[in-house]
A = this chain, B = another copy of it.
Amino acid sequence: MARFKGQAAYSVDAKGRVAIPAKMRNALTPEAQGTFTLTKGFEKCIYAYPQDGWKVKEDEYSQLNVNNRKARHLVRMILMWAEEVSLDGQGRISLPRSLADYAGIGDRALIIGAMDRIEIWDPEAFEAYLQEQTMDQESLAEEVMGF
């Protein structure tokens, strides 16, 4: 499965298209077939899963208990915003209006590799997100990874 890393800012053209960084395109496995599934991120951004990685996510959701009201709601919320997009000849995808609006994306987008997914942010929204995060990286690493 592809592992994404790095970050770069790209322009979003009048047609709502953004380039996916070449480094991330090259990290895609052939199984992904140049296709991503986009969904709402937990933060104010768009998550883009390569097709093969999304399959795994779907399997996880399908194992949730349908008899649990909260689980049903979660699956709805995630799937209702999911949309499949493919790279065009120039290595771009087009952002669905609804998701771009949710993430507050205008004519620039910040693209961040985050392991199994790519995140697409409005540059200013990302700045704001960073401001909210108070914990320094060393303490965070200590708490999360526990050493």
Contact = CB atoms under 8 A, between A and B. Distances in A.
Interface of A: 3-7, 23, 37, 42-43, 58, 60-62, 64, 66, 68-84, 112-116, 119, 133, 135, 137-138, 140-141, 143-145
Query: How many copies of the shown chain assemble into the complex?
Result: 2
B140 A74 contact: yes
Contact of A69 (B5, B42, B116): B42
A16 B104 CA distance: 34
Contacts of A81: 6-7
20 contacts: A5-B37, A6-B79, A6-B83, A6-B84, A7-B80, A7-B81, A42-B138, A43-B72, A58-B115, A60-B145, A62-B115, A64-B144, A66-B116, A68-B144, A70-B135, A70-B143, A70-B144, A73-B133, A79-B112, A79-B114
Nearest to A57: B66
